[in-house]
Structure 1
Amino acid sequence: MKKISSTICLFIVSFYLSQVIVGDDIGTANDKTSVLLEFSKQNKGIILPYDRILPAGSGLAEGTILLDATNPLDAKVKYYNGSWQDLSSGNGANVSSYLSSQPASAIEQTTKGAIIGSDTSPVNGVLILESTDKAMVLPMVQNTDDITDPAPGMMVYINKTGAKRLAVFNGAKWTFWKP
């Protein structure tokens, strides 16, 4: 009975805290009140979904980020802000070898994946973060050179004095975005 009570209490508390830390139980943000999803320091990044067909329609939400593999010889990291924007600065990469390792039946699903921050969401996606007052903290690294064997679609935040920026890898080249 004690285990059941403890489990129920942890389950209830998890809804109030509504934060997920991947990699450890500490994370990187000092103040957790506005964090929904966070990654620990591990010299690793988050890998975006590879899409062979760019999503469209009512389930598409602004803020969607993915690796556009509609042309596997010229893949680019893109985000949606009313229209698809290229984060790879026009630098395409050949990701056909990555796609060939996926089963031929691996076709993008239009159903929802995991939703964090809410029980439901009006949008479709692999990972959906639903919050009006919390955000995701990207995996932080000192330098992209510290990441061994980055995968196409990888995204990290470089947290180095004088060089703080978003970095995305399209399979061939890192592109950097300074705030």
Structure 2
Amino acid sequence: MKNILTILLIGTAVCSNAQVIVGDAVGTAAVKTSVLLDFAPNENKGIILPYVRTLPTAPAEGTLILDATDVTKARVKYYNGAWIDLSGQDADVSAALATQPTVSQIAEGAGEKVIIGAASSAANGVLVLESTTKAMVLPTVQDVQNIPSPSAGMMVYINKEGAKRLAVFNGSKWSYWKP
């Protein structure tokens, strides 16, 4: 039931090209005019990137994934003309992938995606944020140690005085990116 309500909420937002705030009605951004997707602050939750067993051949720039082509060497990556490793270290995600459906169990069609910010998009992804003027605000946490059970592919923004940075979890360790 919860999944159906979430899909209806996202579907309604897609049709109206409105901003989406997940978790509450306020989000974290003080000024909402440049925000397409926002999350409730300090929920100790993150966004989980899709696990891929085969790297996409022609991804859109800005694509983020958990590269599980080798399940014992999984890494969080993004595409900017070439795949860039955000993890810097390997993780074994074979146990997590054991519970995920395989391609033979469930095939994904090219049009099976959620688009926020436009009626359509040429980008091939599960969740596509399509805007030239708005961005996504990552889920914020005070400390990754407060997240009870991080999942492989999790991404958060640490909003802690003196330690503001992007954090990605590859399934065994957190990696940090400071601006």
Could you say whether these structures have the same fold, taking a TM-score greater than 0.5 normalized by the shorter chain as the test?
A: yes
Paired letter, 2:145:
D
Paired with 1:107 and 1:173, the residues of 2 have a C-alpha distance of: 29
| Percentage of identical aligned residues | 60
Aligned to 2:98: 100
Aligned to 1:85: 84
Paired letter, 1:154:
M
- After superposition, give the CA deviation of every residue in 1:64-89 in whole Å (9 maximum; x if it has no partner): 00000000011000000000000001
1:27-38 matches, cutoff 5 A:
27-38=27-38
**Shift in Å, 1:103:** 3.1
- After superposition, give the CA deviation of every residue in 1:139-158 in whole Å (9 maximum; x if it has no partner): 00000000011000000000
**Shift in Å, 1:133:** 0.3
Q: Residues 152 and 108 of structure 1: is their aligned pair in 2 closer, same or farther, counting only changes over 3 Å?
A: farther
Aligned to 1:19: 19
Q: Give the number of aligned pairs.
A: 164
- After superposition, give the CA deviation of every residue in 1:32-83 in whole Å (9 maximum; x if it has no partner): 00000001021100000000000112xx211000000000011000000000
Task: Tell me if 1:47 matches 2:48.
Answer: yes
SS at match of 2:119: coil
Paired with 1:72 and 1:107, the residues of 2 have a C-alpha distance of: 19
Paired with 2:105 and 2:32, the residues of 1 have a C-alpha distance of: 37
**Shift in Å, 1:178:** 0.2
Task: Tell me if 1:71 matches 2:31.
Answer: no
Paired with 1:81 and 1:142, the residues of 2 have a C-alpha distance of: 29
Aligned to 1:109: 108
Aligned to 1:155: 155
Paired with 1:159 and 1:106, the residues of 2 have a C-alpha distance of: 40
Q: Which runs of 5+ in 2 are unaligned?
A: 1-11
Task: Tell me if 1:142 matches 2:142.
Answer: yes
Paired with 1:171 and 1:108, the residues of 2 have a C-alpha distance of: 25
The answer to whether the Cα contact below 8 Å between 1:51 and 1:108 also exists between their aligned partners in 2 is no
**Shift in Å, 1:161:** 1.1
**Shift in Å, 1:109:** 2.9
Paired with 2:106 and 2:57, the residues of 1 have a C-alpha distance of: 16
TM-score of the superposed pair, with normalisation by structure 1: 0.87
Paired with 1:38 and 1:133, the residues of 2 have a C-alpha distance of: 15
Paired with 2:107 and 2:157, the residues of 1 have a C-alpha distance of: 27
**Shift in Å, 1:15:** 2.8
- After superposition, give the CA deviation of every residue in 1:121-171 in whole Å (9 maximum; x if it has no partner): 011000000000000000000000000110000000000111100000000
Structure whose CA Rg is larger = 1
Could you say what the CA RMSD is over the residues aligned between the two structures, in angstroms? 1.7
